Structure 1
């Protein structure tokens, strides 16, 4: 059966404009004028018989038909790019744009970054930090290290990082409070709290001391700040053990009790569904899950 294929220049113009959300940005990427992009998109719309975009003053938005078409066209062009590079022997290259929390970047990703760069030297990594929400609409991100595992419309969410929580403090703090023997004793100490997810009541419930959980204590915007406060002997923090593995191994922080909250998902890999076949995203995904598997193997061997 004869294929029904649109003109390739029109397809390229549509995909670039849809991905970047702007005819001007698409023109810059493809080294043509914005009017050329507009002309090619109009040709595609005439060929298909449906509008692909809603034109606005300084940007464009996909119609439902345009969004549906992009989910097919984007991966096809990515596959074509990857296949062409493979045939001519050109290495994977370009920029991979990542966003993650500052704590995750410092504690987990950056210590492993050299491994990724050595394995894929032709991929330039751009890293920015920030908190949720996970949002790909401005076209400026390829991957977000997503907090927890809540679904995001139009995005693939793949959990990869889990941990339970337990009270920890410095050896100095513990030595200066020898009477700290039972969970009930914590009610007389400064408990450092995480505004993002304060789990102290859950821990006291598991310890069989629900009434002992005090209501006060310093509240921090995220776990990096509360952990730093504990490192400076300000009190006791209910920490995700997977995020402080190096502090526990070095002895900078010590668990007080052998009681952890249930394991929960802390971070997930997030990327747009329409980019599921992107070679760079799949390379990073394979590397990320490989690192997690290696961490698990090292933990079991220890």
Structure 2
């Protein structure tokens, strides 16, 4: 290779490695799909080795392409961290928070003004990831994920454990003739987060051995589940931490005391290259002060 590849091409490769398709890369970078494809072709040419296998119209990263994309991600994170450190005079500069939609809508957004009071000169951006466990976007400084602890390439800290219990709207409860026993939930549509395993675990705990009449809808985010539950579309296996306000104002009711521990929790993830940046240190401390006990 005789020249350094363009930053835009490197960003396109890193984004493709996360998303696995050209369309979401184009949306993320605000380019056309043809422009993204052109950038990737030029990058391959400049590097002098194959980044992709082409299967029909699809692009699939080669093993060498995956390894290079990981190196690019690390380099972009280092560059972003250096820029933030040099731009931040005291508690100022930019801070981009990647946060799951449910946590962002129900908890972070209503409370973020108190952080703004502490750090008024920090320019905040809150973005939502494409998956609940994403912690690799180099454009983000910190990540609030719903995941397990095995995130790689970042410093991981538990924010909040999650318990799931059935939640439904009063309108749906009335339509069903009230929900008095755990088996009654099977008379409604069950709403699922990512997979159906959590409901299966709760039904086993409740000693309900019948199968649901309908398989139920699977949603990508808990916020979508709560909106469907509030609109009486089914029964959510919900997280009281996130939907506490909906319970307190009567939009959702909890018919049983039975709850299961989620296999995932909310974690704070910070790239090591950015862990000592002043405004990130301040945000981490504010977040931990707001959530002093991860187990409740």
Aligned counterpart, 2:134? 134
2:91 touches 2:119 (CA, 8 Å); kept in 1?
A: yes
Q: Does residue 273 of structure 1 match 2:272?
A: yes
Q: Is the 8 A contact 1:162 1:242 kept in 2?
A: no
The answer to whether the 8 A contact 1:189-1:235 is kept is yes
Name the CA shift for 1:175/1:244 in 2 (closer, same or farther; >3 Å). Answer: same
Structure 2 equivalent of residue 217 of structure 1: 216
Q: Is 1:241 paired with 2:240?
A: yes
Match of 2:188 in 1: 189
The equivalent of 1:228 in structure 2 is 227
Q: In structure 2, what is the Cα distance between the partners aligned to 1:62 and 1:250?
A: 47
Whether contact under 8 Å (1:204, 1:213) holds in the other structure is: no
Contact 1:162 1:263 in 2 (8 A): yes
Aligned to 1:287: 286
SS of corresponding position for 1:150 = coil
- Secondary structure at the residue paired with 1:255? coil
In the other structure, the counterpart of 1:202 is: 201
- CA change 1:241–1:128 in 2 (3 A) is same
CA shift for structure 1 position 62: 11
Deviation at 1:139, TM superposition (A): 3.2
Q: Greater Rg, structure 1 or structure 2? A: 1
- 3-state DSSP of counterpart to 1:289: helix
CA shift digits 1:119-163 (9 cap, x unpaired):
100111111112335344x63221111222332332111110222
Evaluate the alpha carbon distance shift between residue 114 and residue 150 of structure 1 in structure 2; reply closer, same or farther with a 3 A threshold. same
Distance 1:250 1:198, change over 3 A: farther
Q: Return the offset for 1:279.
A: 1.6
What's the secondary structure of 2:270's corresponding residue?
strand
Q: Equivalences for 1:30-49 in 2 at 5 Å? A: none
Task: Name the CA shift for 1:98/1:225 in 2 (closer, same or farther; >3 Å).
Answer: same
Change (3 A) 1:265 1:289: farther
Secondary structure of residue in 2 paired with 1:99:
strand
Deviates more, 1:122-131 or 1:274-283: 274-283
Change (3 A) 1:208 1:197: closer
In the TM superposition, residue 295 of structure 1 has moved relative to its aligned partner by 9.9
Give 1:270 shift: 0.7
| 1:160 corresponding residue in structure 2 | 159
User: How many correspondences in the alignment?
Assistant: 229
Using the TM superposition, give the Cα deviation of residue 164 of structure 1 relative to its aligned residue in structure 2, in angstroms.
0.6
TM-score in terms of structure 2 length? 0.66
Show structure 1 runs of 5+ residues with no match.
Answer: 1-17, 23-54
- Aligned residues of 2:186 and 2:213 also touching (Cα < 8 A): yes
1:170 aligns with 169
Question: Could you report, residue by residue, the CA deviation over 1:192-232 in whole angstroms, capped at 9, with x for unpaired residues?
Answer: 22225651111000001133444512332322222111111
Partner SS state of residue 125, structure 2: strand
Tell me the TM-score normalised to structure 1 length.
0.65
1:40-79 matches, within 5 Å, as 56=47
Q: CA RMSD in A?
A: 3.4
Would you say the 8 A contact 1:98–1:126 is kept in 2? yes
Shift of 1:286: 0.3
Could you list the per-position Cα deviations for residues 78-97 of structure 1 after superposition, in whole angstroms to 9, with x for gaps in the alignment?
5xx69xx8xxxx64110011
Aligned pairs for 1:71-150 (under 5 A) are: 91-132=90-131, 134-136=134-136, 139-150=138-149
Aligned equivalents of 1:160 and 1:109: distance in 2?
Answer: 12
